[in-house]
Chains A and B, each alone.
Chain A
Amino acid sequence: MRAVCWHGPLDVRVDNVPDPKILNPRDAIIKITSTAICGSDLHFYDGYIPSMMPGDIVGHEFMGEIVEVGPAVKNLKIGDRVIIPFPISCGNCFFCRKEQWSLCDNSNHQAHLIEPLYGTSPAALFGYSHFFGGYAGGQAEYARVPFADVGPFKVPDHLSDDQVLFLTDVLATGYMGAENCNIQPGDTVAVWGCGAVGLFAIKSAILLGAERVIAIDRFPERLEKAAMMGAHEIINYEEIDPGEALKEMTGGRGPDACIDAVGMEAHGIGPEGVYDKVKQAVRMETDRPYVLRQAIVACRKGGTVSLPGVYGGFVDKIPIGAAMNKGLTFKMGQTHVHKYLPTLLSHIENGDIDPTIVISHHLPLDDAPRGYEIFKHKRENCTKIVLKP
């Protein structure tokens, strides 16, 4: 089959590889009909994710049709149309039972790699480095899905791939980012980053009852999409300082909740941004926390900072004194995708959310290398690429 393989920073190729096989009784094989490039795929594309191995098949947003099931999978049959949550979860452990699916105890068989860094391992993820299990991803013609009796989620035929594909990650991630804000009537929520996760966080914050949502980015076309998603106001941070602006816009208080939908590769401006870039380059710091710092300082006293954006390792110069003395709450984590699927599917069916708004490109799988390139540089007004194997 054809599959997108990582060969090094800025080097992904579409290779011919063997077809996946059933390896365990709870496995299934799906024929992929749609798969997307996620903002967090750019982290390994840029070389910031350690423990990638040349040849790894990447991709964690994918859906398709069941073509084979292992002997222990009773609830799926060949031909079922399913989306695949990006965390791999066993469904039986303490965390899965608490619906903390992205913290599954039993999916990362290479947990020893990440334990020295994290203490204990979170769930394995599709196509996202050996720290997270080294599972082959879904930017391919076929994929093996472990624990297929709990992961794959059947989707109705009257919804198109474009409408349901983002249930696998970015839609659920934006939703959890907003849910983590514990939104109360009258709340103002500020969202940094208007990529797909930020856009869905904006829509979700509104659905969860936010009075006012303020979107922050530097690309006019992304800010336009934020307005289409329902953002009440927008801030282009290259034109005005978000910290000052947010304070003025909220009667001097600051937003009740701040969502960092950017994560580890935030583009800082000014001296702090340069400092982070240098440290990251020499590996003293693995993540650039520019947005995180800004969110902490901007947030109102007693407010919530929610992090759906991905961080991988260490950051420094975090204003923990500001966070502590202002009594902030931090909420974060990889998305517990499985938990949100029924709710989000009904939002799509009711027309509350139109996930297709975020898509800027449809490309054949073979064009994946070009897709990564334009997505990284935000060329051609790129917000989200769907690949068709």
Chain B
Amino acid sequence: METVSGGNQENQPQNPQGVSDAEKWGSLITGGAMVLMGLSQRSLRGALMAMAGGAMAYHGATADKSLTDKVADATGLGKGIKVEKTVTIINKTPEELYEFWHNFENLPTFMKHLKSVTVTSPTRSHWVTSAPFGTEVEWDAEIVADQPNKLIAWASVEGSQVDNSGFVRFQPGPPGRGTEVKVVMEYNPPGGVVGAAIAKLFGEEAEQQIGDELRRFKMLMEAGEIATTEGQPSGRK
């Protein structure tokens, strides 16, 4: 099974394997396994689509890849950046955390680079983030899976400046140990100047950035505020 390459699958649109993939990813994402380990061979977006809509959606998401994408895949250029981070929040239930997060307009309070998120329809939202060199990057995201109190998965819509997808999962830890919040994300930075800015924003530091964002989310939920030293005095000239 695991020796079947992505290329083969793309050439076999009716492959019933899509269905078992959906089950497989569904159990991975909701189960306790390390998601990225399982994803090392392929895209998170594909897996999310498979989980959300079964074989057809999965096929739809992967079969229309352009030639350049295929070349990039083959050479390893433009390879997606994948990040997986988990924190535990002790004094909030999965329900409370899911609810806070699902109101996307709350996200900029703990995601530093995010300027705004505007909800434009029940499943669509518009994201604006500040990028290095004074630039701004924006995109529209679509919720691809929504399991109340458990999981929210999203993907940027076709043609976005930055192709990204991911999910956040809330699940109870061992008794008395709060709620485990896991974020898994994948970015495919484009080329060019904007690409360089995005790569800097999401690329080299992606893991630290997601880690910091989750840490700030935890601070806000547990301590009611986000620790800071910004604005404190020092003897620096």
Highest count of chain A CB atoms <10 Å: which of B219, B233, B234:
B233
With an 8 A cutoff between CB atoms, is B208 at the interface? Answer: yes
Q: Which of A52-60, A227-235, A348-356 contacts B (4 or more CB under 8 A)?
A: A52-60
What are some 27 contacts across the A-B interface (CB < 8 A)?
A5-B235, A18-B233, A20-B233, A24-B225, A25-B224, A25-B225, A26-B223, A72-B224, A72-B225, A90-B222, A91-B223, A92-B224, A94-B90, A94-B177, A94-B178, A97-B90, A105-B222, A106-B219, A106-B223, A109-B215, A109-B219, A109-B227, A109-B229, A133-B229, A134-B229, A136-B233, A144-B232
With an 8 A cutoff between CB atoms, is B211 at the interface? Answer: yes
| Other-chain residue from B222, B230, B231, B235 in contact with A55 (beta carbon distance below 8 A) | B235
With an 8 A cutoff between CB atoms, is A49 at the interface? Answer: no
Complex: A109 Cα to B220 Cα, angstroms: 12
Q: Is there an interface contact between B223 and A147, defined as CB atoms closer than 8 Å? A: yes
Contacts of B234 in A (CB 8 A): 5, 17, 53, 55-57, 136
With an 8 A cutoff between CB atoms, is B88 at the interface? Answer: yes
Task: Knowing A94-B88, A94-B90, say if A108 contacts B227 (CB, 8 Å).
Answer: yes
Q: Is there an interface contact between A111 and B222, defined as CB atoms closer than 8 Å? A: no
Q: Which residue of A lies closest to B208 (CB)?
A: A112
Contacts of A25 in B (CB 8 A): 224-225
| Other-chain residue from A1, A109, A136 in contact with B226 (beta carbon distance below 8 A) | A109
Contacts of A20 in B (CB 8 A): 232-233
* Smallest beta-carbon distance B18→chain A, Å: 39
Q: Is there an interface contact between A111 and B88, defined as CB atoms closer than 8 Å? A: no
Contacts of A92 in B (CB 8 A): 90-91, 222-224
With an 8 A cutoff between CB atoms, is B212 at the interface? Answer: yes
Complex: A144 Cα to B228 Cα, angstroms: 11
With an 8 A cutoff between CB atoms, is A253 at the interface? Answer: no
* Smallest beta-carbon distance A132→chain B, Å: 11
Chain A binding surface, main DSSP class: loop
Contacting A at CB under 8 A, from B190-225, are: 208, 211-212, 215-216, 218-219, 222-225
| Other-chain residue from A23, A72, A93, A112 in contact with B222 (beta carbon distance below 8 A) | A93
Contacts of A94 in B (CB 8 A): 88, 90, 177-178
* Smallest beta-carbon distance B208→chain A, Å: 5
With an 8 A cutoff between CB atoms, is B65 at the interface? Answer: no
Q: Apart from A20-B233, A56-B234, what are 10 other A-B pairs with CB-CB below 8 Å? A: A5-B234, A19-B233, A20-B232, A23-B230, A56-B235, A92-B223, A94-B90, A109-B227, A115-B211, A134-B229
With an 8 A cutoff between CB atoms, is A387 at the interface? Answer: no
Contacting B at CB under 8 A, from A101-117, are: 105-109, 111-112, 115
Interface 1/0 per residue, B171-203 and A, CB below 8 Å: 000000110000000000000000000000000
With an 8 A cutoff between CB atoms, is A135 at the interface? Answer: yes
Task: Knowing A26-B223, A93-B222, A109-B219, say if A17 contacts B229 (CB, 8 Å).
Answer: no
With an 8 A cutoff between CB atoms, is A370 at the interface? Answer: no
Complex: A54 Cα to B178 Cα, angstroms: 40
Complex: A109 Cα to B217 Cα, angstroms: 11
Contacts of A15 in B (CB 8 A): 235
Contacts of B229 in A (CB 8 A): 23, 109, 133-136
Q: Is there an interface contact between B232 and A135, defined as CB atoms closer than 8 Å? A: yes
* Smallest beta-carbon distance A224→chain B, Å: 38
* Smallest beta-carbon distance B112→chain A, Å: 11
Contacts of B216 in A (CB 8 A): 109
Q: Which residue of B lies closest to A146 (CB)?
A: B227
Complex: A306 Cα to B237 Cα, angstroms: 42
Contacts of B91 in A (CB 8 A): 92
Q: Which residue of A lies closest to B207 (CB)?
A: A112
Q: Which residue of B lies closest to A21 (CB)?
A: B231
Task: Knowing A1-B233, A55-B235, A93-B90, say if A106 contacts B222 (CB, 8 Å).
Answer: yes
Q: Is there an interface contact between B233 and A106, defined as CB atoms closer than 8 Å? A: no
* Smallest beta-carbon distance A17→chain B, Å: 4
Contacts of B223 in A (CB 8 A): 26, 90-93, 106, 147
Contacting B at CB under 8 A, from A175-213, are: none
Q: Which residue of B lies closest to A15 (CB)?
A: B235
Complex: A330 Cα to B84 Cα, angstroms: 34
Complex: A106 Cα to B214 Cα, angstroms: 11
Q: Which residue of B lies closest to A17 (CB)?
A: B233
Q: Which residue of B lies closest to A107 (CB)?
A: B227
Highest count of chain A CB atoms <10 Å: which of B212, B222, B223, B232:
B223
Interface 1/0 per residue, A117-153 and B, CB below 8 Å: 0000000100000000111100000001011000000
